[in-house]
Every structure is written in structure tokens, then in C-alpha cells.
């Protein structure tokens, strides 16, 4: 029988890179969601379904599904409006990484 040790190494460089990547994803998602909020109810996003579909695409594309919250309301004229925010209590999504898991 062989005994094998597994050593996990925490790399501050990898952690810093992951933090920067997360901040970049959040910044880009913020830009796109702000743009969508401004366009909600306009020519291209007249319905709640179109707004919800686009918000879902942004969340999936920018990988912020776990922390992006949005709601769509309708005014007295039937015009939809988008309100959104990032949930700060949501768990930080981890990117797949093999750093530090070598045996």
C-alpha cells in the first residue's frame, strides 16, 4: 500500500487574478444592465419577456447569475421598466482552476 500526500498551495497571484477577473465581469455586466435598463420599454425591448430574455443572456454571458438580481415592473401605460442590483451576500462564483491541486 502506498501513502500519498496531497499539498494544496494558495497562490496570492492566482487569487489576485481571480479577483480582477470577477471585478471585470461585474463591471461589464453593470454596463450592459444599465444599457438594458435605459432601453427597457423602448423600440427593441417593448415586452417583459424580451427584457427578461436579454437580462438572462447578460447574466449567463458574464457569469454573474449567482449575484445578479433584477425585477421588471410595468407602469400605468403598460410600459415595462427594469430595476437591477448585485447581491453582495451571494457566494462568489469560482472559476474552474487546477492551480494548487497537483499531487
Q: Which DSSP letter does residue 40 get?
A: B
* Res. 9: pLDDT tops 50: yes
User: Percentage of the chain surpassing pLDDT 70?
Assistant: 86
pTM for this predicted structure: 0.75
Label residue 75 left, alpha or beta by phi (over 0 means left) and psi (-120 to 50 means alpha): beta
| Model confidence band, residue 95 (pLDDT cutoffs 50, 70, 90) | very low
Residues 78, 87: Cα–Cα separation, whole Å: 28
H/E run at residue 73: strand 68-74
Q: Could you give the percent of the chain with pLDDT greater than 90?
A: 69
Q: What is the pLDDT of residues 23-55, one digit of tens each?
A: 999 999 999 999 999 999 999 999 999 999 999
pLDDT at residue 5 greater than cutoff 90: no
Distances (CA, A) of 50 to 8, 9, 32, 66: 45, 45, 15, 21
- Per the document, the length of the chain is 103
Phi, then psi, of 75 in degrees rounded to 5: -85, -175
pLDDT band at 97 (very low <50, low <70, confident <90, very high): very low
Average pLDDT, the chain: 86
Amino acid at each position: 500500500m502506498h501513502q500519498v500526500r496531497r499539498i494544496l498551495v494558495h497562490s496570492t497571484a492566482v487569487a489576485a487574478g481571480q479577483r480582477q477577473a470577477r471585478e471585470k465581469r461585474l463591471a461589464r455586466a453593470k454596463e450592459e444592465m444599465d444599457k438594458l435598463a435605459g432601453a427597457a420599454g423602448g423600440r427593441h425591448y417593448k415586452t417583459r419577456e424580451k427584457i427578461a430574455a436579454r437580462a438572462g443572456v447578460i447574466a449567463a454571458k458574464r457569469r454573474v447569475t449567482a449575484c445578479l438580481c433584477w425585477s421588471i415592473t410595468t407602469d400605468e401605460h403598460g410600459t415595462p421598466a427594469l430595476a437591477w442590483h448585485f447581491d453582495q451576500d451571494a457566494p462568489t462564483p469560482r472559476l474552474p482552476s487546477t492551480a494548487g491541486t497537483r499531487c
